[in-house]
Amino acid sequence: MSEVKFEFTNHLEITGVKGLPEISEGDDLTSLFFDALEENGLGLEDGDVIIFTSKILSKSEGRVIALAKVKPGSEAERIAKETGKDPKIVQLILNETKEILRIARNIIIVETHHGFVCANAGIDESNVEVGKAVLLPEDPQSSVSRLRQEIEARSGKLVSVLTSDTFGRAFRDGVTGICIGVSGIPAVLDRRGEQDRFGKIARITKEAVADEVCAAANLVIGEFSEGIPVAIVRGLRLMQHDSDIKDVLFLKGNDLFR
């Protein structure tokens, strides 16, 4: 892992980017993003952090499945009965799953092939045509790295690109924005070894900054009539050349709730 450059900031601005069209497979997200920036009279600056919802990445990458074409197997049929879910959706969830953690009414908590622990493997039927479901991007880490390269090439600015989803949590109700791919800022900012204001070495000092940025962005990202699938966070002074979302995922043995 490369060195993290970090300066403390005390002012951030978060702006939702409106005006992107409904995204289809093959759409050039980078071009559509720059078109929307222009429409909104927005520009980019060095250090900007750009957050794309996973849903528009998924749509541009063809991760939209027509349910009519899904043939549920016997395990999917069994879990569908147990959960009350559509067997076709259950089959899609199983296809994306490394391990099932919990099954309850209308919900299947899994670890996806990417290593994300979430409900229903992140598969979602909202904001897509009736009869279709959207899977998470196949490799969101690669997607954001590519988007970052394209956006930096076109703008001439050094930016970060993240992709966010909304996951539920253990112990607390409701979902929050969470990061599933990060290029530019670190996934986790490790401040171990720094002293507190009393000269002691501080104890808990790994901050999941990429998740905090996606939670912040989610306050301006609107999945309903707002239709705001991209946000820009300006003012963070954080950079890690080779950041990777894997850095925030617990190794299974370190997770007290697995």
Closest distance to a second copy from the beta carbon of 149 (Å): 25
Q: Is the Cβ of residue 22 or residue 28 nearer to a second copy in the bound state?
A: 22
Part of the chain binding a second copy (CB under 8 A), chosen from 66-74, 75-83, 137-145, 201-209: 201-209
Least Å from the CB of residue 154 to a second copy: 23
> Does residue 225 touch a second copy according to CB under 8 A?
yes
| Distances from the Cα of 104 to the Cα of 22, 80, 81, 99, 165, angstroms | 33, 11, 11, 15, 22
CA distances from 192 to 21, 40, 199, 202, 203 (A): 44, 41, 13, 7, 7
Q: 111 and 93 in contact (C-beta within 8 Å)?
A: no
- If the CB atoms of residues 107 and 241 are measured against a second copy, the closer one turns out to be 107
Q: Which part of the chain contacts a second copy (CB under 8 A), choosing from 61-69, 73-81, 139-147, 187-195?
A: 187-195
**Cα(154)–Cα(97) distance, integer angstroms:** 36
Residue 11 as a binder of a second copy (CB under 8 A): the answer is: yes
Span interacting with a second copy, options 6-14, 72-80, 142-150, 156-164, rule CB under 8 A: 6-14
Report the residue from 50, 209, 240, 243 that binds a second copy according to the rule CB under 8 A.
209
Which listed range, 23-31, 66-74, 146-154, 188-196, lies at the site for a second copy (CB under 8 A)?
188-196
**Please, which residues have CB within 8 angstroms of residue 76's CB and are 6 or more apart in sequence?**
87, 88, 90, 91, 94
Report the C-alpha gap between 137 and 20 in whole angstroms: 19
> Which residue in the set 69, 71, 153, 170 belongs to the binding site for a second copy (CB under 8 A)?
170
User: For residues 123-142, which are near a second copy according to CB under 8 A?
Assistant: 124-130
Region from 27-35, 67-75, 155-163, 211-219 binding a second copy, contact rule CB under 8 A = 211-219
Q: Which residues pair with 45 in a beta bridge?
A: none
* Beta carbon of residue 144, minimum distance to a second copy (angstroms, whole number): 17
Signed CA dihedral, 182, 234, 157, 221: sign only: positive
Per-residue interface string for the shown chain with a second copy, residues 66-105, x marking contact by CB under 8 A: ------------------------------------x-x-
CA torsion sign, 217 to 3 to 251 to 139? positive
> Closer to a second copy at the Cβ: 73 or 191?
191
Q: Which residue has the tokens 């490394």?
A: 98
Query: For residues 28 and 201, which CB has a smaller minimum distance to a second copy in the complex?
Result: 201
Residue 244 binds a second copy (CB under 8 A) = no
Between 22 and 149, name the residue whose CB sits nearer to a second copy: 22
Bridge partners of 7?
Answer: 237
Read off the tokens for 189: 């900012």
Residues with Cβ within 8 Å of residue 65, at least 6 apart in sequence: 92, 132, 133, 134, 135
